Amino acid sequence: MPLLSAAQNGVISPTPLALQRLGLIEYPTALEIQRSLHAEVATGSRENTLLLLEHPSVYTAGKRTLESEKPQDGTPVINVDRGGKITWHGPGQLVGYPIVRLAKPTELVGFVREIESAIIAICAELGIRGERISGRSGVWVCDQQGDRKIAAIGIRVASGVSMHGFAINVNPDLSNFNRIVPCGISDAAVTSIARELNQDVRVDEVLPIVEKCFYETLMKVSA
């Protein structure tokens, strides 16, 4: 698992940020890695770290998920301690877990807005106009065809350090969202970078843009 410091990425900063690509990894394994890194960052024994990865197909339910909102066909669901409701993760979706000591850990909404800004910048570099929608987290594509969610966000902060994070739909099988009401929002659709551009886009093609935009964002909010 390559570990790149900010300086190794060609960006000089007195505060290091590790960027770690994990590839395709099972959700429970990634969660244990998150928890281990979180404990190290919280004690100051490790630098802030951004994990970038994909998961095999899995549904995860945040703390506000109702039992009635989970798939009723026996599909496995993992209950997690992040905010938000139920969502799906799977191949073709780039998931990011920023394990970061926050300069203002009590301002969770502000941190979410910074993550949204980074994803909007990523979309812009790809030729997509990403937007916020008042009262709804995540990043959206909005036009005459309606509102479509292209990225979801679910964060937890403990001991001043963030975990969980964001999921950007690059080129996943969007039909997996049909078994649930994604993030509890029933009146909007889900989309992907590939669908909006009407072309094949691979996760590895998007990774360098994500790393650049999130490096800039996370350096602003970290302690």
Taking the CA atoms of residue 220, residue 156, residue 37 and residue 120 in that order, the dihedral angle to the nearest 10 degrees is -40
Walk me through the domains of the chain, giving residue ranges and CATH numbers.
3-221 (3.30.930.10)
Residue 123 a catalytic site member? no
Query: Tokens for 191?
Result: 């989309």
Q: What is the pLDDT along the chain (223 residues), one digit of tens a residue?
A: 333 333 333 332 345 799 999 999 999 999 999 999 999 999 999 999 999 999 999 999 888 888 888 887 777 899 998 877 888 999 999 999 999 999 999 999 999 999 999 999 999 999 999 999 988 889 999 998 889 999 999 999 999 999 999 999 999 999 998 888 765 566 568 999 999 999 999 999 999 999 999 999 998 888 7
Q: Tell me which of 123, 142, 183, 213 is the catalytic residue.
A: 183
Q: State the Cα–Cα distance between residues 152 and 185, nearest whole angstrom.
A: 11
C-alpha distance from residue 154 to each of 99, 102, 201, 208, 210 (Å): 13, 16, 24, 22, 17
Among 72, 69, 53, 49, CA closest to 61: 69
Torsion over CA: 95, 195, 180, 26 (sign) = negative
